[in-house]
Chain A
């Protein structure tokens, strides 16, 4: 199993550009999430999904869109990039949303917006 994969690993965007960060998992997990990691802020939840066709907002959803058409994929779209979106983005998945389930993380995408 590849686990959770993310592409690209690095990306530089100009302000106003749009792009999609890809996330896929091959563990048949129902729950998938996107987090951003910023120094001194820890990881903050952007959007999450409890199954195909179902998504919801996390703590910092503004400027990002998600969709979940399949169990395996959970792309994150930046609509109009801003310097404040410079961050490291992590995708995670878990078998269930129950309180004891472990989340498995991808390797991250480092995004710089100039």
Chain B
């Protein structure tokens, strides 16, 4: 079965602390994974995608096929990082995304 799991509903950290939002997937093929973010009162938007291997707003995510994970990391959290984060899998060429349950990141001053 194709599935994305984000085990934490809420992650609360202090400003300047490292952040790791966990994402595990279940997919038999070669996965294409994304992180989307929804800031307060804004629409859902792409943060980064696996294939680009980029760093956006200080965030990075590495695909670990052995552990079937795609965790999102940032070494020093900022208050403006507070948002809902979704991990998503695109399993084929259909534009159908499978989302995880979402993790709310709260960065305290």
Q: Which residues in B have their C-beta under 8 angstroms from that of A41?
A: 101
Task: Point out residues on A near B: beta carbons under 8 Å.
Answer: 4, 31, 33, 35, 40-45, 48, 50, 58, 90, 92, 94, 96-103, 105-108
A66 to chain B, nearest CB (A): 14
Cα(A7)–Cα(B32), bound, Å: 31
Which interface residue of B6, B94, B100, B102 has the most chain A CB atoms within 10 A?
A: B94
Chain B, 92-108, CB within 8 A of any chain A CB: 92-102
Which interface residue of B45, B51, B93, B100 has the most chain A CB atoms within 10 A?
A: B93
Cβ contacts B50-83/A at 8 Å (1 or 0 each): 0100000000000000000000000000000000
A103 touches B86 (CB 8 A): no
Q: Which residues in A have their C-beta under 8 angstroms from that of B98?
A: 45
B44 touches A48 (CB 8 A): no
Which single member of A4, A45, A96, A102 contacts B96 (CB below 8 Å)? Answer: A45
A50 touches B43 (CB 8 A): no
B11 to chain A, nearest CB (A): 15
Cβ contacts B19-56/A at 8 Å (1 or 0 each): 00000000000001010000000011110010100000
A42 touches B95 (CB 8 A): no
A97 touches B86 (CB 8 A): no
A48 touches B95 (CB 8 A): yes
| A105-B45, A106-B43, A107-B43 known; A42+B86 contact, CB < 8 A | yes
Which single member of B45, B92, B101 contacts A99 (CB below 8 Å)? Answer: B92
